[in-house]
């Protein structure tokens, strides 16, 4: 990768990915795009407005910036998608098709963020294989599974260098997520600092794959820089760093905040989505084909998250 266009730059991943990429490739070599004007760090470097459904505009921006890589992060998350399936399909599918076409026109490498949501209730739940049945039951997951196949098609048919990751729930302290099912694992840290307690919308005993954001950012660059001759898979690799339920993340928080209290007020929609996803992924393909090796486990993430949030949320 030398010159990178990022879509959805203001989102939960994009807002940390852009500064991370700029620290590696140089600020002027990373063009951030989103549907609304940038805030904070994003405003420091190159930025342009882009609705990912506008393929002509995307092609213009790629050409003018001389991008050799498109990292396509724009999308509507799972729970929000169920509230407005047609809009979620429009952004997550038509937006990805438009960006893929623009990347093909300019022979750019293309990164697609898939998700554990690309699996469904008939997928083996524990140690979910890299290659297995995918019958997702959310519009978000159906879009992710479809776009995984379309990205593979663009590689097979047009020899486009498409690569993707099936992200687990991602946890970060920079930009709160919006509309995801795994968001409880972010909000719990904010409430642990501000309230000393949290009411979970996901039930006790509901396991989902998770990962700390620094490991996700490193995985994107590692995959995109990997030797293509070593890739037996492309779209998209299972990756995960940990699998836990609300009780286990609460226990980890109590190692730092002993009196932390966890209660439950289960949201039927997000609980049903969580129950349709695997409990834990088999990440051996990612390890063998491009050296995936996350650095954060639950307790290390908890200590870092609480430290960073305390700095930001607790007035001195």
Q: CB-wise, 30 or 249, nearer to ligand VAH?
A: 249
Determine if 182 is a binding residue for ligand VAH (CB under 6 A). yes
The enclosing H or E element of 167 equals: strand 162-167
140 part of the active site = yes
Determine if 238 is a binding residue for ligand VAH (CB under 6 A). no
Which of 11, 38, 164, 169 binds ligand VAH (CB under 6 A)? It is 169
CB of 313 to ligand VAH, least distance (A): 22
Return d(Cα 138, Cα 142) in angstroms, integer: 6
CB of 181 to ligand VAH, least distance (A): 4
Backbone angles phi, psi at 242, to 5 degrees: -165, 160
Q: CB-wise, 88 or 160, nearer to ligand VAH?
A: 88
x/- mask, ligand VAH, residues 6-45, rule CB under 6 A, reads ----------------------------------------
Is residue 197 within 8 Å of 260, Cβ to Cβ?
yes
Q: Write the CB contacts of 7 (distance below 8 Å, at least 6 apart in sequence).
A: 14, 33, 34, 50, 52, 58, 70, 71, 72, 73, 74, 95, 99
Determine if 62 is a binding residue for ligand VAH (CB under 6 A). no
Return d(Cα 273, Cα 277) in angstroms, integer: 7
Is residue 45 within 8 Å of 30, Cβ to Cβ?
yes
Q: From the candidates 20, 140, 184, 189, which is the catalytic residue?
A: 140
Q: CB-wise, 42 or 88, nearer to ligand VAH?
A: 88
Beta bridge partners of 7: 72
Q: CB-wise, 19 or 177, nearer to ligand VAH?
A: 177
The encoded tokens of residue 19 equal 């500064």
Return d(Cα 166, Cα 174) in angstroms, integer: 21
CB of 248 to ligand VAH, least distance (A): 17
Return d(Cα 207, Cα 1) in angstroms, integer: 35
Q: CB-wise, 27 or 175, nearer to ligand VAH?
A: 175
Which of 134, 181, 240, 302 binds ligand VAH (CB under 6 A)? It is 181
Residues labelled catalytic? 140
Interface residue list for ligand VAH (CB under 6 A): 77-78, 115-117, 140, 167-169, 177, 180-182
């Amino acid at each position: 990768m030398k010159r990178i266009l990022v879509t959805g730059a203001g989102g939960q991943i994009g807002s940390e990915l852009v500064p991370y990429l700029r620290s590696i490739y140089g600020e002027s070599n990373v063009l951030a795009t989103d549907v609304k004007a940038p805030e904070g760090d994003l405003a420091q470097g190159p930025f342009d407005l882009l609705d990912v459904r506008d393929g002509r505009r995307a092609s213009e921006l790629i050409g003018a910036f001389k991008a050799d890589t498109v990292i396509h992060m724009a999308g509507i998350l799972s729970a929000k998608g169920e509230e407005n399936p047609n809009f979620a399909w429009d952004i997550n599918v038509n937006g990805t098709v438009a960006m893929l076409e623009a990347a093909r026109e300019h022979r750019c490498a293309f990164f697609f963020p898939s998700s554990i949501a690309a699996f469904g209730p008939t997928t083996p739940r524990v140690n979910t294989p890299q290659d297995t049945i995918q019958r997702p039951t959310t519009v978000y997951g159906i879009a992710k599974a479809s776009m995984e196949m379309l990205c593979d098609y663009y590689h097979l048919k047009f020899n486009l260098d498409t690569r993707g990751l099936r992200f687990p729930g991602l946890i970060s302290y920079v930009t709160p997520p919006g509309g995801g099912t795994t968001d409880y694992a972010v909000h719990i840290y904010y409430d642990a600092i501000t309230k000393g307690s949290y009411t979970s919308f996901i039930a006790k005993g509901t396991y989902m794959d998770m990962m700390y954001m620094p490991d996700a950012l490193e995985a994107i660059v590692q995959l995109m820089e990997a030797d293509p001759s070593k890739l037996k898979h492309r779209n998209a690799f299972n990756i995960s760093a940990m699998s836990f339920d609300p009780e286990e993340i609460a226990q980890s928080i109590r190692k730092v905040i002993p009196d932390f209290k966890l209660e439950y007020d289960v949201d039927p929609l997000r609980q049903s989505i969580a129950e349709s996803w695997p409990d834990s992924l088999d990440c051996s393909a990612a390890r063998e084909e491009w050296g995936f090796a996350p650095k954060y486990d639950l307790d290390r993430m908890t200590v870092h998250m609480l430290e960073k949030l305390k700095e930001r949320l607790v007035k001195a």
